[in-house]
């Protein structure tokens, strides 16, 4: 079992930045890949970014490439999502996710995910 707790969401103006954090507990942190999804009201939960267990491989959805950066600190059992140049289309609830395959990056589907956090809300005002 893995427990996930996100933080760092909030209200920001367009063009601003936020950093999301997700603290994990349970199984050894370096034994699984981690990622972020987001879900806007009335829409599906969509993949945003992923990082392999040791942090050497990352992947992003095209719409956030060059603006978002995923990273992890295995000593702190935490994964981060640095979000820059935010725009209103980035507004959503952001969910931390775990896939048991430690090397899995690429594009994840929601059905690939083994554990979910409860989400943190990001609102970008225009």
Based on its alpha-carbon atoms, the radius of gyration of the chain, rounded to whole angstroms, reads 13
Q: Are 18 and 10 in contact (CB under 8 A)?
A: yes
Q: Are 99 and 27 in contact (CB under 8 A)?
A: no
CA angle 33, 62, 23 (to 5 degrees): 30
125: confidence class by pLDDT, cuts 50, 70, 90? very high
Rounded to whole angstroms, the Cα distance separating 82 from 76 reads 17
List pLDDT tens digits, range 77-123. Answer: 999 999 999 999 999 999 999 999 999 999 999 999 999 999 999 99
List pLDDT tens digits, range 18-60. Answer: 999 999 999 888 889 999 999 999 999 999 999 999 999 999 9
């Amino acid at each position: 079992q893995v427990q996930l707790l996100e933080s760092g969401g909030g209200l920001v103006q367009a063009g601003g930045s936020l950093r999301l954090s997700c603290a994990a507990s349970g199984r050894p942190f370096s034994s699984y890949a981690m990622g972020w999804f987001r879900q806007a009201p009335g829409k599906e939960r969509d993949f945003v970014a992923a990082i392999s267990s040791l942090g050497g491989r990352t992947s992003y959805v095209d719409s956030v490439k060059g603006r978002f950066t995923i990273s992890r600190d295995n000593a702190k059992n935490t994964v981060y999502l640095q979000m820059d140049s935010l725009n209103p289309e980035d507004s959503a609830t952001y969910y931390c996710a775990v896939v048991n395959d430690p090397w899995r990056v690429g594009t994840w589907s929601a059905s690939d995910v083994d554990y979910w956090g409860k989400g943190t809300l990001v609102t970008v005002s225009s």
